[in-house]
Amino acid sequence: MAEIESDIEETLARFVTGLAYEDIPEAVRHQARRALVNILATGFAGCREAAIEKAFKVLSSYSPPGNAVLVGRAERCDPLLAAFLNAMAANIHDYDDTHPRTVMHPSAPVVPALMALAQEQRTSGRAFLTAFVAGAEAECRIGNAVSPAHYARGWHITSTCGVIGSAIAASALLRLDKRAAVSAIGNAAVQACGMVQALGTMSKSISVGNAARNGLISAHLAREGFTGPADVLDGEFGFIRLYSDTPNPEEVTEGLGERWEFASNTYKPYPVGVVLNPVVDAALELREQGLADPAAVERVTIHAHPLLRERTDRPDVESGRLSQVSAQHAFSIAVLKGRAGVAEFSDGAVAETKGRRPQIRFVDEAERDIYSIQMRVEMNDGKVFTAAVDGARGSAANPMSDDDLSEKFRRHAESVGLRNVDSLLERFWRIDESEDCGRIFADCSAEVRA
């Protein structure tokens, strides 16, 4: 059949359908556990945001009844809607994991799809982790193949590549054969969408939710013999060439199964766009030096990767959602509060910095790492503060520890009234030992507090 003639698609499908738990290095398996703990933490943090409430209200009225868990909520729903809403919640604060080379968030589209499946069919923890790694690894590699032009062009890479990663992960857990896995990839790739223009708005979360749900649908369709297009990744009008001005298709398969892109995953201490991590670090450092009031600042100069200016030069944000991608707000609220948690990027926090955000001059340095900045702050009284961040907290050079991720999970699980949090956390760290991990995910449900 023409649908499975492409070398890239066949190689990728062979990898996904043949991958065994024992084939994955322990370091990569541990990365998957870290990513799982982290993505559940961000799901708890985002599960009751207004966008989730509105989406649930609208979509649940059109959905069949079901028993799939919504993380941090008491309601249950059908698996497809659960995948959609859990992915939205996990990514809504931009608080989830990051693949540094592509700035994609690999886990948000993949884990919710697998969670839904694990509650439909008995799934061991080992099978879950194997499918997770397969989907996330493929997703990151496809992201490499279209980067950097893809994201720079304005495609929301978490969503566009995420739907394929979700489909591949679901294919692994459904134990599709190679032919069906190729079709799942094709079914997913034709649904790739998401725009950077939507960052900072509720609409951004639609494409992330769709990535999880539509990837799951793609694998289910493929299992029933629903075939996809030939050469969907590497064809003349395939995903890689269509979505990138600088396509590098060899990135998908080179070293596949030997060099693990997913192993480079990083995690966020702050709920902001990843390029803002060093800005927050620097602002907190300057606060320690005595900088207390952003309104007393004459000018801030930041030497940074161009992506900081391109994505976060937003001095006039009016909402908490947009403040997560505003350098001006991030700097100001960190100086004011001495912290940068979810509450510091709310509508109320935005009101506190309005009229107090200083002018920022960005100096683009393309050779800089996105986690590195130099900051100079000139005060109205002539005083000058400086800070240099070579590796922001959460970067590969300054990573969050397992304990840090556990505390992140614990804090946000407790915030939605979850019980027995320490016991649940331990079960996720030891998910490999579970014979039915769907039961662990079921315990992520919470009673809605009055």
CATH superfamily of 274-389: 2-methylcitrate dehydratase PrpD (3.30.1330.120)
- What is the mean predicted confidence (pLDDT) over 157-169? 98
**Residues in contact with 412: Cβ distance below 8 Å, sequence separation at least 6, in sequence order:** 41, 42, 44, 45, 72
* Domain ranges in the chain with CATH number 1.10.4100.10: 2-268+427-442
* Bridge-based pairing state of the strands 360-364 and 297-304: parallel
CA-CA-CA-CA torsion sign (233, 234, 236, 241) = positive
Separation of alpha carbons 121 and 245, rounded Å? 41
- pLDDT beyond 70 at 261: yes
The tens digit of pLDDT for each residue in 331-364 reads 999 999 999 999 999 999 999 999 999 999 999 9
Q: Which residues of the chain does CATH 3.30.1330.120 include?
A: 274-389
**DSSP state for residue 101 in the 8-state scheme:** T
pLDDT class of 447 with cuts at 50, 70, 90: low
pTM: 0.93
Contact 229, 350 (CB under 8 A): no
CA distance 129 to 24: 10
For residue 12, is pLDDT > 50? yes
Could you tell me which residues are beta bridge partners of residue 360? 300
Length of the chain: 450
2-268+427-442 is classed in which CATH architecture? Orthogonal Bundle (1.10)
pLDDT at residue 1 above 60? no
Distance CA 160, CA 148 (A): 14
Q: Tell me: the pLDDT tens digits for 63-99?
A: 998 999 999 999 999 999 999 999 999 999 999 999 9
